Amino acid sequence: MGERCSWASSDLLAAYHDAEWGVPVRDERTLFELLTLEGAQAGLSWETVLKKREGYRRAFAGFDIDAVARFGSREVERLLGDASIIRNRLKIESTIENARATIALRVDGGLATHLWSFVNDEPIVNRWTATAELPSETGVSKAISKDLKKRGFRFVGPTIIYALMQAIGMVNDHVTTCPRHAELSSS
């Protein structure tokens, strides 16, 4: 049995790593949730965001995209007082704008179809031997970032998008000694 990726250093991170990270996701609601959480992470640790995940689910209507797209200034003010999420106005407003942009993408096949088109609907399988080798962004994440910004998405810089790509299995960045690398490479 190989070693788990070294960043999974706490029980919470290990559980996320072992069950979710890198598993291909094409469900719109889950993609929207992870896009929101990756944006919320900017300047913070992933563990901090994971600890607030249930708060985000409650605060943002279970990530019901249509419901979040209808949020207005009253909901923004309510969310700014909600200690169960990261209370940053720009991040809260970006979630609402991203819901609206996600709805707009439906006419072109939806968020999943759009994101996965950048990798020809197939995960990129990397063969890193140490987590220190993992890039923080790539040419693909830069292209997706640029495209999403043009479509009205916010908090979608190339580093956030690369983290999203890793989270949703568009790229398999488990190190080769991690059992999840082989499991996800064969699925």
Q: In whole angstroms, give the CA distance from residue 98 to residue 4.
A: 33
Strand partners, 1: none
Q: What are 76's two structure tokens?
A: 């923004």
Q: Is 46 marked active-site?
A: yes
- CB half-sphere exposure, 13, CA atoms < 13 A: 12
130 contact partners, CB below 8 Å, separation of at least 6:
6, 175
Which of the following is catalytic: 46, 56, 116, 128?
Answer: 46
The answer to whether 7 is a known catalytic residue is no
- The residue from 38, 56, 116, 162 that is catalytic is 38
Of 7, 16, 47, 75, the active-site residue reads 16
Is 38 one of the annotated active-site residues of the chain? yes
Nearest Cα residue to 15 out of 171, 128, 180, 185: 180
Decide if 97 contacts 148 (C-beta within 8 A): no
With beta carbons less than 8 A apart as the criterion, state whether 45 and 170 touch: no
Active site residues: 16, 38, 46
